[in-house]
Structure 1
Amino acid sequence: MEITGIYATPGYSGFFFDDQRAIKQGAQQDGFTYEGEPVTDGFDEIRQAGESIIVDVELADGTVVRGDCAAVQYSGAGGRDPLFKAEEYAPVVEGPVADELEGRDATDFLDNAELLEEMTVEGDRLHTAIRYGVSQALLAAAAEAENTTKTDVMADALGTEPATEPVPVFGQSGDDRYNNTEKMFVKGVPVLPHALINSVEKIGENGEVLLEYVDWLTQRSQELGPEGYDPRFHIDVYGMIGEIFGAPYDRDEVVDYFAALEDAAAPYPIQIEGPMDVGNRADQIDAMVELREGLKDAGVDVDIVADEWCNTFEDVQAFVDSGAADLVQVKTPDLGGIHRSGQAVRYCQGTDTRAYLGGTCNETETSARACAHVALATDAAQVLAKPGMGFDEGYMIVENEMRRTIARREREQRQTDTDEVTADD
């Protein structure tokens, strides 16, 4: 079925854009916002409203499907594309992108997505957010044209066998790291709570605040979790362990701190995302390898998660090939086309590194649902609940999309089996 139109409407995303560098440099919160001046190019304020572009793809039969262009909360940081401004980029979608894709066969998802991935405008590649949102719409268009699920389209494109159970969902608490985490315990969320530890105040000058929090996680999970609850704790520290301890990362002081985190989390496993941020990919990989080797030598069982400087497909490859992480976050908006996220998850298969299909609170319900299909198609180790920082909404969106898709695929398989038996008779 032919693609007959592509349209772009500026909209909002599920959270905000934050100037990470300004926050790390000590910007103080003023209610929900921050005091001070931004330091990252493109920002007018340290915290400003998140933006998206709603992409409608029209098919020859009049059907309209959707994808949403969105960028991460900390845009412009850690080697990422610059701040995404919807009014600036909407004409690119309706102009050069539409000119390239209109008239193409919607069922050729992978070819269409790869064409988009390689497009340039005035010599520059398309912003990752554009590639991300338009490719979601292309995925939806292929599924609509083939009367199948987006999971099946993605699995066919990647050569995978989809998961038959929902992928474990990772809940993110935002700054309300106690109330939102208690909600997660009540609902039995398998991986939690993110916790947003992005300042010295939140981790403690010697890491003591985070240790107290992990101890609380262990106790409260046992009080509120359902029977047989066996959570995995995942804390994102935004490089703050590196800020308070510094290199080298295999020395006793650092390793002992991770051992204390392991003890506080026991009997549950714990994984720490972004333990340090040293400013570039090569040095980040070296620092994380150094930390992992120190932990291994000491017998400390804390998993390390790559985030900073692990943005593109090539970045994922570099972290995996170097053995720099137990998990890599596949940060979906940063990889561009949504198929690239699926390819990144696949790259981890058969290695010692697990794939966490992540993203950002600053996405939309449309992009979150699209990512649920990537998670199922690749059977990722975990998938982020998104968008927003309220937890409940994002968890509902991602979990329900996976359950709905699995149920549909099971119904269709039963019908196929029935038809085959009838034909044999």
Structure 2
Amino acid sequence: MRIADVLAVPVRGGFFTDDQAAILAGAEHDGFGYAGAPVTPGFTAIRQPAQALSVLLVLEDGSVEHGDCAAVQYSGVGGRDPVFDAVAARDVVLRQVAPLLRGRDVSGFRPVAEELAQLPVHTAIGYGVSQALLAVAARHQRRTMAEVVRDEYATGVELAAVPLYGQTGDDRYANAEKMLLHRVDVLPHGLFNSLALIGTQGERLADYLRWLVARAGELAPGHRPRLHVDVYGTLGLAFGGDVGAVAAYLAALGEACAPFELAVEHPVDGGDRAGQIAVSAALRTELARRGSGVRVVVDEWCNTADDVRAFLAADAADVVQVKTPDLGSLTHTVEALLAVRAAGVEAFCGGTCAETERSAQVTAHVAMACGASQVLAKPGMGLDEGLMVVGNEMARTLALAGTR
């Protein structure tokens, strides 16, 4: 199976791109947007529509497969690539990537994906092009993308549906109730991205979780989801960077959430990779000393396969979010997920609300093939749509793979 041509067209992302630094500095909502000027380079507003680039591989038999280049909602911070510009990326794809692919035999995925990973391009480009390459390999082999990844990387996984993780966006109450009614496996994310939202001493976050526990008993009796909230480093701000104080707060929060398990993503920001590894490891040690079962989830500053290995080596995480757009070519996502599993740590195949339905579908296959512990329901912030896109893709994949 050879590639005859490469096309690229700008398309819409599933949500918006937000200037996290400006929000953490206190930018306030102005309707759906934010008031004030952005502070992170590349932003023209604190909130702006997410861009994506659809890359279409035209095959020698006239058939077409595609993938979508997309970046995360909070670009340009935490060691990530800058805000994604789809028009500029189209030129890069046509000028640098297309000549490497035209005429190439792509009956397999891994060799060309690894070659793509070496190109010095925005991570979003490697991400989208590799999705298309995986789809082409699956078409040629007449198998699902999950089967291709499982076999080419010898993951040893029996394909199964991966627990879904929903995110509420700013609509923390109604969308959490939707998740309970849907009996979502992991919830609610919560988008606690400012000190005002969690409270100066974390009291508003605690109140929210107590409400959620009570509401779970009312709306979904007998359902035991994992509670997983993302606080974007705000607990470090609330407690002045005191790891002991953060651990004491989290331990109390875990007790308040019983009988549900609690995982907290990015409690404290370490400022760079080394700092993040140090503070995450210290926080895990302090939680263990207190006998707390609260899990520490790492995200910021853990963007590449090398970053993931560094966090694992330092025993700095209970759960690692492998944030798919940040790793570039999907071969890095596979490597990272497998490394996390091999270390006995929970491998969260994540991503962002700013992606597209195509990137969500493809990464659902990768999550299944690598035996991830949970997968993000994406794209968008409406919840139902992401649950449908990722959940339905996994269901169809299992139905097909089960016939073989």
Distance in 2 separating the partners of 1:5 and 1:142: 16
Paired residue for 1:150, among 145, 159, 163? 145
1:176-220 CA distance string (max 9 Å, x none): 010001000001001000000001111001100000111111111
Task: Find the counterpart in structure 2 of residue 181 from structure 1.
Answer: 176
- Please say if residues 163 and 378 of structure 1, whose CA atoms lie closer than 8 Å, have aligned partners that are also in contact: no
Distance in 2 separating the partners of 1:216 and 1:158: 43
- Aligned pair count reads 404
Is the partner of 2:342 in helix, strand or coil? coil
For residue 165 of structure 1, report the CA deviation from its aligned partner. 2.6
Task: Find the counterpart in structure 2 of residue 49 from structure 1.
Answer: 49
What letter corresponds to residue 346 of structure 1 in structure 2?
Answer: L
Distance in 2 separating the partners of 1:255 and 1:50: 35
For residue 156 of structure 1, report the CA deviation from its aligned partner. 1.8
Distance in 2 separating the partners of 1:200 and 1:17: 20
Distance in 2 separating the partners of 1:264 and 1:365: 36
For residue 118 of structure 1, report the CA deviation from its aligned partner. 0.8
Task: Find the counterpart in structure 2 of residue 255 from structure 1.
Answer: 247
Residues 1:335 and 2:330 are matched in the alignment = no
- Please say if residues 80 and 303 of structure 2, whose CA atoms lie closer than 8 Å, have aligned partners that are also in contact: yes
- Please say if residues 349 and 372 of structure 2, whose CA atoms lie closer than 8 Å, have aligned partners that are also in contact: yes
- Please say if residues 55 and 128 of structure 2, whose CA atoms lie closer than 8 Å, have aligned partners that are also in contact: yes
Task: Find the counterpart in structure 2 of residue 22 from structure 1.
Answer: 22
Distance in 2 separating the partners of 1:396 and 1:244: 36
Residues 1:12 and 2:7 are matched in the alignment = no
Based on CA coordinates, which of the two structures has the bigger radius of gyration? 1
Distance in 1 separating the partners of 2:130 and 2:62: 19
Spell out structure 1 runs of 4+ moving beyond 4 A: none
- Please say if residues 117 and 331 of structure 2, whose CA atoms lie closer than 8 Å, have aligned partners that are also in contact: no
Is the partner of 2:279 in helix, strand or coil? helix
- Please say if residues 133 and 367 of structure 1, whose CA atoms lie closer than 8 Å, have aligned partners that are also in contact: yes
For residue 254 of structure 1, report the CA deviation from its aligned partner. 2.4
For residue 304 of structure 1, report the CA deviation from its aligned partner. 0.2
Distance in 2 separating the partners of 1:321 and 1:327: 14
Structure 1: runs of 5 or more not aligned: 120-124, 414-425
For residue 103 of structure 1, report the CA deviation from its aligned partner. 1.0
Task: Find the counterpart in structure 2 of residue 401 from structure 1.
Answer: 393
Paired residue for 2:228, among 212, 234, 245? 234
Task: Find the counterpart in structure 2 of residue 166 from structure 1.
Answer: 161
Distance in 2 separating the partners of 1:164 and 1:41: 42
- Please say if residues 332 and 359 of structure 1, whose CA atoms lie closer than 8 Å, have aligned partners that are also in contact: yes
Distance in 2 separating the partners of 1:161 and 1:3: 30
- Please say if residues 270 and 277 of structure 2, whose CA atoms lie closer than 8 Å, have aligned partners that are also in contact: no
Distance in 1 separating the partners of 2:395 and 2:90: 33
What letter corresponds to residue 167 of structure 1 in structure 2?
Answer: V
For residue 39 of structure 1, report the CA deviation from its aligned partner. 0.7
Q: Which moved more, 1:86-95 or 1:391-400?
A: 86-95
Distance in 1 separating the partners of 2:224 and 2:246: 27
Q: Which moved more, 1:345-354 or 1:74-83?
A: 345-354
- Please say if residues 151 and 162 of structure 1, whose CA atoms lie closer than 8 Å, have aligned partners that are also in contact: no
Structure 2: runs of 5 or more not aligned: none
* Residues 242-321 of structure 1: pairs in structure 2 closer than 5 A: 242-249=236-243, 251=244, 253-321=245-313
For residue 295 of structure 1, report the CA deviation from its aligned partner. 0.5
* Residues 380-419 of structure 1: pairs in structure 2 closer than 5 A: 380-411=372-403, 413=404
For residue 247 of structure 1, report the CA deviation from its aligned partner. 2.9
For residue 158 of structure 1, report the CA deviation from its aligned partner. 1.4
Distance in 1 separating the partners of 2:27 and 2:159: 45
Distance in 2 separating the partners of 1:163 and 1:169: 18
Determine what percentage of the aligned residue pairs are the same residue: 50
Distance in 2 separating the partners of 1:255 and 1:131: 38
- Please say if residues 331 and 358 of structure 1, whose CA atoms lie closer than 8 Å, have aligned partners that are also in contact: yes
Distance in 2 separating the partners of 1:245 and 1:178: 26
- Please say if residues 17 and 74 of structure 1, whose CA atoms lie closer than 8 Å, have aligned partners that are also in contact: yes
Q: Which moved more, 1:253-262 or 1:361-370?
A: 253-262
* Residues 96-175 of structure 1: pairs in structure 2 closer than 5 A: 96-119=96-119, 125-175=120-170
Is the partner of 2:16 in helix, strand or coil? strand
1:64-123 CA distance string (max 9 Å, x none): 01100000001101010011100111011122101011111111311111111112xxxx
For residue 303 of structure 1, report the CA deviation from its aligned partner. 0.2
What letter corresponds to residue 304 of structure 1 in structure 2?
Answer: V
Task: Find the counterpart in structure 2 of residue 70 from structure 1.
Answer: 70
For residue 279 of structure 1, report the CA deviation from its aligned partner. 1.0
What letter corresponds to residue 156 of structure 1 in structure 2?
Answer: D
Task: Find the counterpart in structure 2 of residue 421 from structure 1.
Answer: none
Task: Find the counterpart in structure 2 of residue 216 from structure 1.
Answer: 211
What letter corresponds to residue 93 of structure 1 in structure 2?
Answer: V
Distance in 2 separating the partners of 1:295 and 1:228: 28
What letter corresponds to residue 118 of structure 1 in structure 2?
Answer: Q
For residue 386 of structure 1, report the CA deviation from its aligned partner. 0.2
Is the partner of 1:89 in helix, strand or coil? helix
Distance in 2 separating the partners of 1:397 and 1:255: 36
Distance in 2 separating the partners of 1:259 and 1:347: 28
What letter corresponds to residue 241 of structure 2 in structure 1?
Answer: A
- Please say if residues 159 and 369 of structure 2, whose CA atoms lie closer than 8 Å, have aligned partners that are also in contact: no
Distance in 2 separating the partners of 1:349 and 1:313: 13
Is the partner of 1:349 in helix, strand or coil? helix
- Please say if residues 263 and 295 of structure 2, whose CA atoms lie closer than 8 Å, have aligned partners that are also in contact: yes
For residue 235 of structure 1, report the CA deviation from its aligned partner. 0.2
